[in-house]
Amino acid sequence: MTNAPEIAQWILDTIHAEKTVHQEAIVPRIVEAFGEEWVYTNENGHPAINRDVLKSLRKLRDDSVNWNREERCWRIVDAK
């Protein structure tokens, strides 16, 4: 059975592979790969990721991954 940290690692791997990942685009991929119990529709009507998964993702990601709230996406940032 899949757990939140495993899904968070999968999301992080996807971000690193694709460089930019929009939340609306990854939610259906999470449903397909792991099941509907890991997503929901938030109060603004947007597709969202289970909070336990997001907590695990925050613990896993480092400064190379940035969340853009306006665009609702994760991006790899260039190291300087």
Strands (E) in the chain, as ranges, are 20-22, 39-41, 47-49, 65-68, 73-76
Q: Residue 1's pLDDT is what? A: 78
Q: What is the pLDDT of residues 60-76, one digit of tens each?
A: 999 899 999 999 999 99
Per-residue pLDDT averaged across 51-64, rounded?
Answer: 95
Q: What is the pLDDT of residues 1-31, one digit of tens each?
A: 799 999 999 999 999 999 999 999 999 999 9
| Annotated domain spans of the chain | 4-76
Per-residue pLDDT averaged across 38-42, rounded?
Answer: 95
Residue 8's nearest CA partner among 46, 65, 55 is 55
Confidence of residue 78 (pLDDT cuts 50, 70, 90): confident
